[in-house]
Amino acid sequence: MKKIYRYEDNKEYWDRRWTEAGEDTDSFTNMDIYPIKYAEMVMEPGLLAAEIGCGLGRVIKHYNNQGYNIIGIERSEVAVEKINQTNPELDVQVGDVLKLPYSDNKIDILMAFGLLHNLENGIEDALAEISRVLKTGGKFCISMRPDNLEMAFNEVYWRWKKPKQADAQPRFHKLMVKEGEFAKMLAKIGLEVEQIHRSRNLSSLYRIPFLRSRSVEQGREEQRRSAGYQLNTAGRFLDNILTRMFPFHTANVIIFIGRDIS
Ligand SMILES: C[S@@+](CC[C@H](N)C(=O)[O-])C[C@H]1O[C@@H](n2cnc3c(N)ncnc32)[C@H](O)[C@@H]1O
């Protein structure tokens, strides 16, 4: 596992992101994007689902809207307060994946999109906690950041965008993992991986302004979070070529789907 450092604390980073963002919409308008495309692979009506690290709640809002039974945990108080203001009916609590406020074997489906790579230490403890609350036979859908060229390019971009201040100290930002390495960690704790998908929530080509879809770019951030960070025709053409040629190195999320067999 590779640790990435920036010049902002991980918790401060998320609190700032969620302070700056508008509220998440109640539904995804494009079901073919990460993370909803992968949530669809595990969600089932009538079962109890939990999303840990739910951010502003776009996944929880979407499924609650459709009558699914879904609850959530999020470390950022800023994000939970925003959800509570717009959707007080949702069961979303401030909490930590390292100490989930659920009893053993309570949850049928557990989702964690972009959560576990925020842990500088204790990832195995977090997986043990996930396994504790997940029923035997329960489904999980967990995404991580891959250790590949796309992510390396992303860090170069951020260093260029936010140059180091004179007195800044490097602070932990995220983990990046190899697929096989993380699948083994899951298996060790009894979380058996059945599917691995490579995806991206944002193509690095989206960093190039003239390759972005005009209509999406002009809209608000929350629209991009429900419709996807879309490229224009030229951008999509280039992106298709790159993803076909380099499927491993163009992904920026890897999604692990499976069951708890412990
Ligand atoms: C990449 S965001 C994903 C948000 C949401 N799942 C989505 O797809 O919109 C990761 C979230 O995990 C939260 N987080 C980070 N560490 C956490 C922890 N130890 N326990 C619970 N949540 C945490 C962050 O505050 C952030 O909101």
- Alpha carbon distance 27, 35 (integer Å): 12
Q: What is the pLDDT of residues 3-29, one digit of tens each?
A: 999 888 999 999 999 999 989 999 999
Q: Domain 2-260, what fold?
A: Rossmann fold (3.40.50)
Q: What is the pLDDT of residues 53-94, one digit of tens each?
A: 999 999 999 999 999 999 999 999 999 999 999 999 999 999
Q: What is the mean pLDDT of residues 199-221?
A: 82
Q: What is the pLDDT of residues 121-142, one digit of tens each?
A: 999 999 999 999 999 999 999 9
CB of 116 closer than 8 Å to CB of 85: no
- Alpha carbon distance 216, 231 (integer Å): 9
Q: What average pLDDT does the structure give for the chain?
A: 93
Residue nearest to atom 12 of ligand 1 (CA): 53
C-beta 122 within 6 A of ligand 1: no
Q: Domain segments of the chain: what residues?
A: 2-260
The larger pLDDT score, comparing residue 166 to residue 83, is at 83
- Residue 114 binned pLDDT confidence (cut-offs 50, 70, 90): very high
Ligand 1: centre distance to CA 210 (Å) = 30
Ligand 1: centre distance to CA 59 (Å) = 12
Could you tell me which of 9, 13, 4 has the C-alpha nearest to residue 159? 4
Q: What percent of the chain has pLDDT over 90?
A: 79
Residues 6+ apart with CB under 8 A from 152: none
C-beta 113 within 6 A of ligand 1: yes
Min mean pLDDT across 65-79, 179-193, 229-243 is at 229-243
Ligand 1: centre distance to CA 110 (Å) = 14
Residue nearest to atom 4 of ligand 1 (CA): 55
Q: Look at residue 217 and tell me whether its pLDDT is greater than 70.
A: no
Q: Look at residue 160 and tell me whether its pLDDT is greater than 90.
A: no
CB of 172 closer than 8 Å to CB of 121: no
Strand partners, 111: 51, 141
DSSP state letters, 38-90: HHTTT--TTSEEEEES-TT-HHHHHHHHTT-EEEEEES-HHHHHHHHHH-TTS
Could you tell me which of 78, 81, 76 has the C-alpha nearest to residue 97? 76
Backbone angles phi, psi at 66, to 5 degrees: -95, 10
Q: What is the mean pLDDT of residues 25-51?
A: 96
Could you tell me which of 8, 36, 242 has the C-alpha nearest to residue 148? 242
